[in-house]
């Protein structure tokens, strides 16, 4: 079910799909996988199959019930562009987003090749933001795939940031989120990696959002960089109103 989110850059989560599978090093300590196992142990009916990809057809129309505008992270517990999610199902999710212009929907994927391949078969209203995860330099190709997508806002989630990203091509990118890995076994993130991305955003006039340092107890490390928080959003009037 949808719920208010503690994720710093969004307000609500909506999960018409749950479950996923690992595709790169950013998946190594997946928080969604840990959460799914916990929810299965608690007897949650949505997670009877643990972290296996599961389609929840009864949740596709849920945002239509919400009249007041919300900023919504789509599939925080999965990847909408996973190979086990049929195109028709993805199109149904996009149809709902198209018909709910009062909301802002934020989608994030690691499966950028599939995203680029089917983008023309989807409708892209102004209230749908599309992002890709870029955890290290081995997956920079995801940014090239994202550039092919006709979304009004294209963004990068450099979380968990597990290596430097010194040569980012930020053309046609509107927003960059950076965060360290959290939880048991989390890999450290160096300050210079974060500063380097921030500087590249400044040069390219791209909004920069620093989410967290992470660690085993992320509440202790906080989200300040050089003595302040960085919480910029894309400089579009409609989006600024939506996240206020």
pLDDT at position 243 is 40
* Residue 113 CA neighbour count, 13 Å, CB half: 4
Spell out the domain ranges in the chain. 3-14+69-243
* Residues 6 or more apart whose Cβ sits within 8 Å of residue 73: 5, 7, 10, 12, 13, 14, 106, 108
Tokens of 28: 């190594």
pLDDT at position 2 is 59
| CA-to-CA separations, 168 to 68, 83, 137, 209, in angstroms, rounded | 37, 27, 9, 16
The three-class DSSP label of residue 35 is: helix
pLDDT at position 239 is 44
pLDDT at position 202 is 98
DSSP string, 187-219: PP--HHHHHHHHHHHHHHT-EEEEEE--BTTHH
pLDDT at position 238 is 41
Q: What does the pLDDT profile of the chain (244 residues) look like in tens digits? A: 556 888 999 999 999 999 999 999 999 999 999 999 999 999 999 999 999 999 999 999 999 999 999 999 999 999 999 999 999 999 999 999 999 999 999 999 999 999 999 999 999 999 999 999 999 999 999 999 999 999 999 999 999 999 999 999 999 999 999 999 998 889 999 999 999 999 999 999 999 999 999 988 888 889 999 999 999 999 754 443 344 3
pLDDT at position 236 is 56
Q: Which residue has the tokens 């600024």?
A: 240
Tokens of 234: 């894309």
pLDDT at position 215 is 84
**Does the CA dihedral 173-179-182-187 come out positive or negative?**
positive
Determine if the peptide bond prior to 203 is cis (ω within 30°): no
| Residue of 18, 194, 177 whose CA lies nearest to 106 | 177
Number of H helices, E strands in the chain: 7, 10
């Amino acid at each position: 079910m949808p719920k208010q989110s503690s994720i710093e850059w969004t307000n609500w989560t909506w999960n018409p799909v749950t479950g996923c599978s690992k595709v790169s090093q950013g998946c190594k300590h997946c928080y969604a996988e840990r959460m799914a196992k916990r929810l299965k142990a608690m007897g949650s009916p949505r997670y009877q199959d643990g972290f296996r990809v599961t389609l929840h057809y009864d949740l596709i129309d849920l945002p239509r019930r919400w009249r007041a505008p919300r900023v919504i992270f789509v599939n925080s517990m999965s990847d909408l562009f996973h190979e086990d999610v049929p195109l028709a199902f993805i199109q149904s999710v996009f149809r709902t987003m198209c018909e709910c212009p009062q909301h802002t929907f934020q989608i994030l994927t690691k499966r950028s090749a599939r995203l680029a391949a089917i983008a023309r078969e989807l409708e892209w209203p102004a209230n749908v933001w599309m992002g890709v995860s870029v955890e290290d330099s081995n997956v920079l190709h995801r940014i090239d795939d994202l550039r092919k997508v006709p979304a009004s806002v294209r963004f990068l989630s450099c979380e968990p940031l597990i290596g430097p990203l010194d040569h980012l091509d930020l053309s046609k990118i509107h927003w960059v989120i950076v965060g360290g890995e959290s939880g048991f076994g989390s890999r450290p993130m160096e300050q210079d990696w974060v500063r380097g991305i921030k500087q590249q955003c400044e040069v390219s006039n791209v909004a920069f959002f620093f989410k967290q340092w992470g660690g085993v107890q992320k509440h202790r490390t906080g989200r300040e960089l050089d003595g302040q928080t960085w919480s910029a959003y894309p400089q579009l009037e409609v989006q600024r109103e939506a996240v206020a």
